[in-house]
Amino acid sequence: MERISMSKVRGRYRKLNIDRKWIILVLLAAIASIFINLWPLIFLSLFCILNAILLSIDRYVQMPVDIEISTFSAVLMTYSYGLNWGIAAAILTKLAAILYNKNVRVDHFFMMGGYVVAAMLANSLAFPSIIMAGIIIAFMVNLYVVFVSKFITMLSAYEILMYGTSNFIFNVVLFVGFADLFRLLMI
């Protein structure tokens, strides 16, 4: 049996470089999780990032399409963690998209109002399931956005129809396909 020196053994493997700041961050999060529930923060951050990425599509696609997860996140956060978290999701998911895309328009603030209404409806109305709640609330939020778009931002009927329809269909797909899964993860 041949003896192999440790330097040869070490030479076969690459050193695992882990940045110390990530280790410290994970340790601090673990310690903080003892005192506070970090899951709402984690999901709020996830929703903000996903919404910013989804709404960056507007840069590349010049169509009146509204694909966002602000309504979805506001309803889910309200159901899972309460109204304050739902309102935070309603505002911060849109704000993250505005900051990421460097695009501020007056209708964004009215949309934030619609997402806050979604959180308040999710908190105040009793629905038999999260899916039904999401579909009905998405419809109600889109009605609000139709009125704002028609009378305040003065969009054309074609744009209002396209934005509203695409948003409603996307939210129905989100709630039917992912609401129960997220609810299981968020508990």
pLDDT in tens, 35-66: 888 899 999 999 999 999 998 887 777 788 88
Query: Quick one: pLDDT at residue 151?
Result: 87
* In a domain? residue 168: yes
- Structural domain range at position 157: 37-186
Query: Quick one: pLDDT at residue 3?
Result: 78
* In a domain? residue 26: no
* In a domain? residue 10: no
The whole-angstrom separation of Cα 116 and Cα 73 is 11
Report residue 23 as tokens. Answer: 């280790």
* In a domain? residue 25: no
pTM score: 0.83
- If one counts the domains in the chain, the total is 1
* In a domain? residue 82: yes
The whole-angstrom separation of Cα 77 and Cα 22 is 27
DSSP category for residue 152: T
| CATH, residue 164 | 1.10.1760
Per-residue pLDDT of the chain (187 residues; tens, 9 = 90+): 677 777 777 777 777 677 888 888 888 888 888 888 889 999 999 999 999 999 888 777 778 888 999 999 999 999 999 999 999 999 999 999 999 988 888 888 999 999 999 999 999 999 999 999 999 999 999 999 999 888 888 888 998 899 999 999 999 999 999 999 999 999 7
Q: What angle do CA 114, 42, 178 make, to 5 degrees?
A: 60
How far does Cα 25 stand from its chain's mean position? 23
* In a domain? residue 16: no
Taking residue 146's Cβ as centre, other Cβ atoms within 10 Å add up to 16
Report residue 3 as tokens. Answer: 């003896």
* In a domain? residue 78: yes
* In a domain? residue 144: yes
